Structures are given as C-alpha cells and as structure tokens.
Amino acid sequence: MKWLIKISQVLLVIMVPFVVLMTSIRILLTPSTVDIEYRLPNVPADSYGFTFNQRTTYAKLAVQYLTNSQEISFLADQTFPNGQPLYNDRELSHMQDVKNLVKKAILGWYIAGTLIIVAGFVAWRIQKLREYWMALRDGGWATLILVFAILLGVTINFDWLFTAFHHVFFTGDTWLFLYSDTLIRLFPMEFWLNLFIALGSFAILCSAILIWVGHTLNKRESG
C-alpha cells in the first residue's frame, strides 16, 4: 500500500505543472488576448499595411480556429480585401499542425485535471489527505522551478527558446515564414514574448497558491 501511495504522489507532482501551464495557456488562448496584446507598447504595428482593425479581426479568427471544431477551410477561405488568399499553403499547414497539438494538449489537460480531482477524493476516502496535500505542494514547487527556468530562458535568449520550442513540437522547418507572411504580420516575435511572460506570471501565481494551500492543509492534517 505504501509503495502505491508513493507512486501516486510522484505522478501527482508530475501532473501538477502540466495542468497549471495548460490552464494558463487555455486562458490566454482567447480573442481577448489579441485585444490586450495589440495595445501593448512593445508590439509593433504591421509595416506591410494591415490596419489595427484588420489585424485584430484576422488574429482573432486565427485564435478561434485553434479551439473550434472547424476544418482548415476556416482559414483557407479568408482573403485580403483584393480577394487574394490571406494565408499561403505553408501557413495553412502549420496552423493545422498547431491545432492538432492544441487538441491533444487540451485533452491531456482534461485527463490530468480529472485524475488530480479523483486522487483527492480517493485520498479523502482512505484517510491519506496529508499525502495528497504534500503532493500538491511539491507539484507547486516543481511548477515554480520550471516556470523560473522558462522565464530565465526568455530573459537570456528568447529567440533560442522560441526556436527550441518549435523544434520539440514540430518537424522540420515548417514553422519558418517570411516577414511578409500573414502569420508573422499578425503574431510578431514581440507578441510571443509577451505571451510567455503572461503565461509564466499566471503559473507563478497558481504555484504560490498551491504551495500555500498544500502546506497549510498538510499542517492541519498532521495536527
């Protein structure tokens, strides 16, 4: 029984960072993020001609595509005012890859989140809540260490971190585009830099709450 509890604790510690980071990503993966991002002073205007309203409209549709049930035609059917396609084949292929990754990540988020909740219920039933709160606390610390490592990478060399991220999750160089391509015009590097910082900040807040809750309730169970 003890070894099973230990394994369960380790699995919880591993799942917590994933759930926290995915919660942050899902909150940011909304059209509202676009409205906030384009108003930040470090995000440059489009030098190739998009107006603020055009850019906002197109970017929100791109974000919506990643979480809706539509096929790639949702983006392929979008055009510039002159009737030319908004995205080229390379961009459409990449967006399809991103959507597949997002779908798998969200599914994993649902599964891991459910397992954490079920583990809490089981721990309560078998009177092992102390071990459960300890695992959540340690998971919070693990998340904090991971996030600080990511933010350190952002500070030292964001370009390298951004490139490494794409090499891990995508094959080849299908994610590389010209500055004149729509995806780069909608989502410049500064846009992603802000997202990484926002993701890290939210994850740090969640980690601090988990550490405090886990520590407090662990002490209560011990007493």
**Residue 1's pLDDT band (boundaries 50, 70, 90)?**
low
- Whether residue 24 contacts residue 206, with contact meaning beta carbons closer than 8 Å, is answered with yes
Distance CA 202, CA 209 (A): 11
d(CA 139, CA 14): 7
Residue with tokens 């917590």: 16
Cβ of 142: how many Cβ atoms within 10 Å? 18
d(CA 148, CA 214): 20
DSSP state of 30: S
pLDDT tens per residue, range 20-38? 999 999 999 999 999 999 9
Residue ranges of the alpha helices (H) in 44-188? 52-67, 73-76, 89-125, 129-169, 182-186
Q: pLDDT of 177-219, one tens digit each?
A: 889 999 999 999 999 999 999 999 999 999 999 999 888 887 7
Encode pLDDT of 95-154 as tens digits.
999 999 999 999 999 999 999 999 999 998 888 888 999 999 999 999 999 999 988 988
Domain ranges of the chain: 2-222
